[in-house]
Amino acid sequence: MTRVVKKRKLDEIRQDRLYFDSYSDVTIHEEMIADHVRTNTYRTAILKNSESIRGKVVLDVGAGTGVLSIFCAQAGAKKVYAVEACSIAEQAQITVKHNNMEDRIEVIRGTVETVDLPETVDVIVSEWMGYALLHESMLNSVLYARDKWLKPGGIILPSKAELYITPVIDPVVEDRLHFWYTVKDQYGVDMSCMSGFARKCIMNSDITVSSVTCEDVLSHPARFAELDLHSVTPEELRSVKGQFRCESFGSSAVNAFCVYFTVTFPCPDSTAPLVLSTSPCKPETHWKQAVLYLDAPVEVVQDTPITGEVRMYPSEENARHICIHVDYSIGEQKRHSKTFSIPDWSSEAQP
């Protein structure tokens, strides 16, 4: 093994350790379970699929505190394997016992890639979505479980994911940039020269996770990617891309793109599937939205075309982190390109 390959392997081990350690604290689980849209949609989806779950074997990938496993047992599952890699598995075991479910739910500590189940399963359930859908790269584990443990004709909850993009105006950013022009009136010092520096700092290449209000959305959303969890491959996840076209609602200034996702659950007894949406025009979730700031705002009028292509791929520095590359044109402007990533603060904290 070469030194480069060995270092890369050690980096991957450290990245996995940091990822799993981040789920060992109560805060993140409190945030997820308190997210009513998230938790109640999963509960509803599981109960609506009770005919497919009753008397069957279920695998919960990344079970966390075990709440989805308990939902599956409540829906009539004969056996639930709750696989969880981090130490929160101990609390899941306590929660399962506290709810008198230990005869049907078996908590297994380990990654789904390394554990050995005693049987194949009829259903896979997992809450695998990260910021901008693919941040943290947990979907790869779900696909591994699908290929190794799911019976032919088995179901996956959720079964489909879709990615959307829309142009937005972030008024807070504009207020922050304008601030430097107000300093002279307040203190007698002209600091308008700071505005260019402020723009570089604020409208940078970070994927900013924040809440976008529906009023700040400047067009109908464009779907640029769809993932069928029954057929998508890990290789395809290395480059998720698609083209988009939007037309602005009216006169404004585009200073960012907003990327969000939906996941869909099959509902056999209903004409419409159940959708969990992170759209800025739907009730807020803990995922919020991924905001990608342009280098400078661009003025638009009604029906100004905004076109381009989005490509999402794992970061070279940390495969669990996502990068988003956007090629875009607004109106008659020439094509621009910008690549965004979520800052890896954990790497700065390590020696």
The catalytic residues are 127, 136
Alpha-helical (H) ranges within the chain are 3-21, 26-34, 36-48, 50-53, 67-74, 88-98, 139-149, 171-179, 183-187, 195-202, 234-237, 345-349
Spatial distance between the Cα atoms of 289 and 129, rounded to a whole number of angstroms? 13
Apex CA 105: angle with CA 104 and CA 109, to 5°? 150
Could you tell me which residues come within 8 angstroms of residue 331 by beta carbon, excluding any fewer than 6 positions away?
Answer: 298, 300, 304, 305, 306
Q: CB atoms < 10 A from the CB of 42, how many? A: 23
Q: What amino acid occupies position 123?
A: V
Spatial distance between the Cα atoms of 222 and 301, rounded to a whole number of angstroms? 18
Alpha-helical (H) ranges within 156-233 are 171-179, 183-187, 195-202
Could you tell me which residues come within 8 angstroms of residue 229 by beta carbon, excluding any fewer than 6 positions away?
Answer: 139, 142, 143, 146, 156, 158, 159, 160, 161
Q: Do the strands 150-157 and 121-125 form a parallel or antiparallel pair, or are they unpaired?
A: parallel
The DSSP H or E segment spanning 290 is strand 289-300
Could you tell me which residues come within 8 angstroms of residue 275 by beta carbon, excluding any fewer than 6 positions away?
Answer: 262, 263, 264, 265
Q: CB atoms < 10 A from the CB of 149, how many? A: 20
Q: What amino acid occupies position 192?
A: S
Q: Is-contact 72 46, C-beta < 8 A?
A: yes
Spatial distance between the Cα atoms of 333 and 322, rounded to a whole number of angstroms? 28
